[in-house]
Amino acid sequence: MGDPSEATYDLAAAGDDAVRLARELVRRDSTNHGGGEGDERAAAEFAAEALTDAGLTPQILEPAHRRSNVVARVPGTDPDAPALLVHAHLDVVPAHTENWSVPPFGGEIADCPVTGAPSLWGRGAVDMKHTVGMVTAVVRHWARTGLRPRRDIVLALVADEEDSAAFGADWLVREHAHLFEGCRVGIGERGGHTVHARTAAGRAVRLYPIAAAERGSAWLTLRARGTAGHGSRPPADNAVGALAAAVARIDAHRWPLHLTPVTRAAIDAVTAALEIERTPGDTDGDDAADALVARLDAAVPLVAPTVRNSATPTMLTAGYKVNVVPGEAVGGVDGRVLPGAEEAFARTMDALTGERVDWEYEHASPPVAAPLDSAVFRAMRSALVAHDPDAHVVPVCLAGGTDAKVFSRLGIDCYGFSPMRLPEGMDYPGLLHGVDERVPLEGLRSGVGVLDTFLRA
30 and 162 co-located in one domain? yes
Residues 50 and 179 in one domain: yes
Please report the pLDDT score of residue 1 as a whole number. 40
Given a cut of 90, is residue 5 above it in pLDDT?
A: no
**253 and 322 together in one domain:** yes
Mean pLDDT over 125-148 rounds to 97
- Beta-carbon count within 10 A of 82 CB: 14
168 and 237 together in one domain: no
Backbone angles phi, psi at 32, to 5 degrees: -105, 110
pLDDT given at position 2:
42
For 385-411, what is the mean pLDDT?
97
Instruction: Tell me, yes or no, whether 450 lies in a domain.
Output: yes
Cα separation, 341 vs 278, in Å, equals: 26
Task: Write down the pLDDT at residue 95.
Answer: 97
Q: Do 178 and 229 share a domain, yes or no?
A: no
What's the rounded mean pLDDT across residues 371-388?
A: 98
Q: Is residue 204 part of a domain?
A: no
- Tell me the mean pLDDT in the region 363-377: 95
For 218-245, the pLDDT digits (tens) are 999 999 999 999 999 999 999 999 999 9
Q: What are the φ and ψ backbone dihedral angles of 80, each rounded to 5 degrees?
A: -90, -10
What is the model's pLDDT at position 104? 98
The last residue of a domain, from among 336, 365, 394:
365
Which pLDDT tens digit goes with each residue over 75-91? 999 989 999 999 999 99
Domain end, chosen from 365, 389, 417, is at 365
∠ Cα 278 284 290 (to 5°): 70
pLDDT digits (tens, 9 = 90+) for 280-327: 999 999 999 999 999 999 999 999 999 999 999 999 999 999 999 999
**What is d(CA 372, CA 209) in angstroms, rounded to the nearest whole number?**
13
CATH number, position 168: 3.40.630.10
CB atoms within 10 A of CB 110: 12
Q: In total, how many domains does the chain have?
A: 2
pLDDT at 8 over 90: no
User: Same domain for 18 and 165?
Assistant: yes
How open is the CA angle 15-19-21, to the nearest 5 degrees?
110
CB atoms inside a 10 Å sphere around CB 403: 25
Establish if 390 belongs to a structural domain: no
| Residue 98 shares a structural domain with residue 38 | yes
What pLDDT shows up at residue 10? 82
Tell me the pLDDT of the chain averaged across its residues. 96
Q: Give me the pLDDT at residue 7, please.
A: 36
How many CA atoms, within 13 angstroms, populate the side-chain half-sphere of residue 379?
Answer: 16
Question: Residue 6: what pLDDT?
Answer: 45
Q: How far does CA 181 lie from the centroid of its chain? A: 24
pLDDT at residue 9, rounded to an integer: 64
Structural domain for 237, as ranges: 216-365
Residues 6+ apart with CB under 8 A from 230: 323, 324, 325
Confidence (pTM): 0.94
